[in-house]
């Protein structure tokens, strides 16, 4: 049986082994600064969370250019039609005026070239009206007021102008063939060149009128 003696040499040698082993362990777990490089790191092992804020900001790139505008969307469906508005009030004719065949009849009315053949115009107020070239064939103008009216070239063939007021009317070149002017007032009217063939002027007042041949009626 071997006897062991605790000697100074034994104690010191044991302590030296302990220090040796402890130093190796310290060296194994202590890493110097700036000693880890890409060779020591596996791909995909470093995450953004492992980097400090300054490094993460430095890795951000500049903002890219604005992309092209996308295609327009398809048009939406049309909305429902709105409801119809209420009808307006009926129009009124001005006092002294009337509508005949779509023409407004009244003082100083513009009726040049109007087609009023056979129209009922008895007693109509047409003082100063423009009836140049109007078609009044067979029209009923009994007691119509045509003082100062312009009837140049008007066609009054077969018209009834009995008791009509034509004082100062311009009838130059008018066609009065077969017209009836019984008792009509034609004072100072101008009939130059008018066709009065078969016209009935019985009892008509022609005082101062210019006749078809250019003479002045006494």
Q: Is the pLDDT at 142 greater than 60, yes or no? A: yes
- Measure the CA–CA gap between 194 and 198, rounded to whole angstroms: 12
Is 95 part of any domain? no
What CATH number does the domain containing 208 carry?
A: 2.160.20.80
What is the pLDDT at residue 27?
A: 46
- Beta-carbon contacts of residue 191 (< 8 Å; ≥ 6 apart): 171, 172, 174, 209, 210, 211, 212
What is the pLDDT at residue 50?
A: 62
Give residue 134's domain range: 105-110+124-218
pLDDT digits (tens, 9 = 90+) for 149-158: 999 999 999 9
- Measure the CA–CA gap between 143 and 104, rounded to whole angstroms: 19
Q: Nearest CA to 184 among 132, 149, 155?
A: 149
- Measure the CA–CA gap between 170 and 175, rounded to whole angstroms: 12
Is 36 part of any domain? no
What is the pLDDT at residue 26?
A: 46
The answer to whether 169 and 148 have CB atoms below 8 angstroms apart is yes
pLDDT digits (tens, 9 = 90+) for 15-71: 555 555 555 444 445 556 666 666 666 666 666 666 667 666 766 667 778 878 888
Is 180 part of any domain? yes
Question: If pLDDT is split at 50, 70 and 90, which confidence band does 80 have?
Answer: confident
- Measure the CA–CA gap between 143 and 11, rounded to whole angstroms: 162
User: What total of structural domains would you count in the chain?
Assistant: 1
pLDDT digits (tens, 9 = 90+) for 178-210: 999 999 999 999 999 999 999 999 999 999 999
Is 73 part of any domain? no
Whole-angstrom CA distances from 48 to 39, 54, 57, 59, 62 are 19, 11, 11, 10, 18
pLDDT digits (tens, 9 = 90+) for 3-15: 555 566 665 666 5
Is 79 part of any domain? no
- Token digits of residue 97: 């005026």
The residue-averaged pLDDT of 117-137 equals 96
Is 153 part of any domain? yes
The answer to whether 175 and 157 have CB atoms below 8 angstroms apart is yes
What is the pLDDT at residue 131?
A: 97
Higher-pLDDT residue of 135 and 94 is: 135
What is the pLDDT at residue 81?
A: 84
Residues in the chain: 218
What is the pLDDT at residue 14?
A: 61
Is 22 part of any domain? no
The answer to whether 113 and 93 have CB atoms below 8 angstroms apart is no
Is 19 part of any domain? no
- Measure the CA–CA gap between 180 and 91, rounded to whole angstroms: 36
pTM: 0.58
């Amino acid at each position: 049986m071997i006897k062991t003696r605790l000697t100074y040499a034994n104690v010191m040698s044991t302590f030296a082994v302990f220090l040796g082993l402890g130093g190796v362990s310290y060296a194994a777990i202590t890493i110097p600064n700036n000693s880890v490089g890409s060779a020591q790191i596996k791909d995909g092992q470093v995450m953004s969370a492992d980097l400090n804020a300054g490094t993460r900001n430095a890795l951000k790139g500049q903002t890219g250019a604005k992309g092209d505008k996308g295609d327009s969307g398809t048009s939406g469906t049309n909305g429902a039609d709105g409801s119809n508005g209420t009808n307006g009030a009926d129009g009124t004719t001005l006092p002294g005026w009337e509508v005949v065949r779509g023409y407004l009849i009244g003082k100083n009315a513009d009726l040049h070239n109007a087609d009023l053949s056979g129209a009922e115009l008895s007693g109509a107020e047409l003082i100063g009206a423009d009836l140049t070239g109007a078609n009044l064939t067979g029209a009923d103008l009994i007691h119509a007021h045509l003082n100062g009216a312009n009837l140049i070239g008007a066609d009054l063939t077969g018209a009834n102008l009995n008791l009509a007021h034509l004082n100062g009317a311009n009838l130059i070149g008018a066609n009065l063939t077969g017209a009836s002017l019984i008792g009509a007032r034609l004072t100072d009217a101008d009939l130059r060149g008018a066709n009065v063939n078969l016209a009935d002027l019985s009892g008509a007042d022609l005082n101062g009128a210019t006749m078809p041949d250019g003479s002045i009626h006494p």
